[in-house]
Amino acid sequence: MTYLLIRQPGYTEGNPVAAFFINHWGIKGMVYFKFFMVAFVCVITQIIARNREDIARRILQFATVVVGAVVFYSLMLYLG
């Protein structure tokens, strides 16, 4: 969705960290940033799961809902 949106005239990335990567390295930077964020959350929850599996599961569920909401919001921006 981000790729489709940044191709639209007048759209700017709202996340300043993501915008930094996009502005400096283009689409590759965006992909690397997004992969890093997913890997970061997975590693953190894996560390937490060693002691508190229930908490790690909730973190991953929350992260999934947040990402889903962002994708939905991006879709609304794209269609609007």
Give residue 73's pLDDT: 92
Per the structure, the count of domains in the chain is: 1
- Report pLDDT digits (tens) over 22-69: 999 999 999 999 999 999 999 999 999 999 999 999 999 999 999 999
User: In a 10 Å sphere around its CB, with 0-12 CB exposed, 13-18 middle and 19+ buried, how is residue 5 labelled?
Assistant: middle
Contact present, 41 and 63 (Cβ < 8 Å): yes
Which has more pLDDT, 7 or 62?
Answer: 62
Provide the domain limits for residue 17: 2-79
Residue predicted with more confidence, 43 or 10: 43
Q: How far is residue 20's CA from residue 40's CA, in Å, rounded to a whole number?
A: 18
CA 23 to chain centre: 17
pTM attached to this predicted model: 0.76
Q: What's the whole-number mean pLDDT along residues 1-18?
A: 87
